[in-house]
Amino acid sequence: MARRKRALTRRQVLRSSFAAAAGLAVVPRYVLGGRGYTPPSETIHHAVIGVGSMGRGHIGYVKRDSIGRLLAVCDVDAVHLERAAKMAGAGCKGYRDFREVLDRGDIDVVHVATPPHWHALIAIAAADAGVDVWCEKPMTRTIAEGQHVIDAVRRNGVVFRLNTWFRLHGNLYGFGSTARPVKKLVAGGLLGWPLTVRVSPYTGFDWKVRMWSGKTNASPEAIPKNFDYDFWLGPAPRKPYFRHRTHASFRGYWDYDGGGLTDMGQHYLDPVQYILDKDDTSPVDVEAYAPWPPHPDACGGWGQVTLAYADGCRIILESGEWGKQDTRGKPYIEGPKGKLYKGFKTDPPELAAKVKSLPDPEPMISDFNVSVRKRRKFGLNEVNGNRSNLLLHLANAAIRTGRKLKFDPLKQRFIDDEGANRLADQPMRAPWHL
C-alpha cells in the first residue's frame, strides 16, 4: 500500500538523521531537508490517469508543486501517452492500464482525468489500493456511482478532492471573487428566504450546449492504431467508433458524459449549493423545458431546468441556446428582501456594503497537500461534491425523460419513476462493475 511505504520511508529517514547527528553516518543534504531541499519523507508521489488536455493540466499542477513528484502517467492513446511522458520528464513511467499504476505500491495521489464514465471505477480502485484521489468533474457519470465512491473513500480512509474550486478560491463567474462574499450575503439573511438562483448566460454562465452536442448522423471510421478503443469504452456500451465520440468531444454522448450541462455544471452549481447551505440535501422536484424526444445517444439542446428544494429555494438553469428565454436584466439571486446581480450589485444598493461587517464563513482546506499530509477532508470532497454532482444528473434526467420528476434526497432515488431510476443506476459492460 502506498501509505505503508511512505510511513517506512519516514522512519528510515528519521533513523538516518539520528545516526548522522551521532556521527555514525554521512547523510546527503536532501535527506535531511532544510531550505531548498524536500526530504523524501515529505514528498508526495503522484500519478495522472488520462492525459488528454485536462490530464496534461494535472501534470502541470504536480510539476509546479514543490513537494510533489510525478511517478506515472497513463492513457489508452499512445500518442497522448508519449506526449505526457515527455512533458513529465525523467523519473516518470508511462502505462496503458491504470491497474498497473495502482499495483506499483508507491503512489500517494492518483489524478483521475479520464472521461466521466471511468471516474467511479478508477476512484474506487484507487481507494481500495490505499491511494488518495484527485478527481476531475463531474464526480461520476450517474447518481448511483456517487454513493459507491463515497463508500470506498470511507472504508479505506483515503482523502478525496473534486477538481472544481469556485467555492474555495476560484473566480465565481461574473463576481470577480470567490463564493464567500455571496455566502455571507445569504447567510446574513440580507436577501431573505427562500431564494431563487438563476444560472444563465445573462447572469454570467455559459452552458456550452451547442459546443458539446453529439453528432446524430456520423458514419463509422477506422480505429487509429495508436488508440485502444475497447479499453477506452471500458464500462460503456460497445458502439461503432468515430473520432467525435472520443477525446474532448466525448462530452456530447450520454454513454460517457452529459453535454455542456455536466461539463460546466459542477463549476457553476457547487458554489450555489454552498451559498444555499445545501451540502447535506438535494432538490425534491426537477422539471425541464427541452426538445422532445431527446436523442438516445447524442446529447442535445435544452432551454430551462428548474430544481426545487423542500424549503422553497429554487435553482433555475437557462441555456440561452434553445427556445425563447430572455432573462436579460434578471438577478443572479433573488429573495423576498433583495436581489443580487453580476458585479456584486444589490437591490437595494446598501446591502452590498453590509457584507463586510458580517462574519466570515467557516474555513475549509483548499490545499490538497494539507489534506494528504494531515488526513483531513478537502474543502470539496466526496460528500459535498456528490451533492453538487447530483444536481447535474437530476437536470439531465428531467431533460431525457421529458417529465417532472420527484426525488428522495435521502435514498437518492426518484419517486415512483422507474424510467428515471434506470438513468440513475445504469449497468456496466462486462467485465466492469461497481
Burial call 242-278: b when 16+ CB within 10 Å, e when fewer: eebbbeebbbbbbbbbbbbbbbbbbbbbbbbbbbbeb
CATH code reported for the domain at 43-158:
3.40.50.720
pLDDT tens per residue, range 407-417: 999 999 999 99
**166-218 pLDDT tens trace:** 787 666 766 656 788 999 999 999 999 999 999 999 888 999 999 999 999 99
Integer Cα distance of 175 and 154 in angstroms:
35
Of 427, 414, 416, 419, nearest to 400 (Cα)? 419
Model confidence at 94, pLDDT cuts 50, 70, 90, reads: very high
Under 8 Å between Cβ of 251 and 262: yes
Q: Which amino acid is at 304?
A: Q
Using DSSP's 3-state secondary structure scheme, residue 406 falls into: strand
- Please state, in angstroms and rounded to a whole number, the distance separating the CA atoms of residues 140 and 128: 17
Domain residue extents for the chain: 43-158, 180-216+249-424
Cβ 294 vs Cβ 402: under 8 Å = yes
Architecture of the structural domain at 180-216+249-424: 2-Layer Sandwich (3.30)
Instruction: Report the run of H or E that residue 287 belongs to, with start and end.
Output: strand 285-289
Predicted confidence (pLDDT) per residue in 25-42, tens digit: 443 333 444 454 455 568
CA distance 419 to 432: 23
Strands in 109-112's sheet, in edge-to-edge order, are: 93-95, 68-74, 44-49, 109-112, 132-135, 160-162
| Cell triple for 306 | 428548474
pLDDT beyond 80 at 334: yes
What one-letter code names the amino acid at 338?
Answer: G
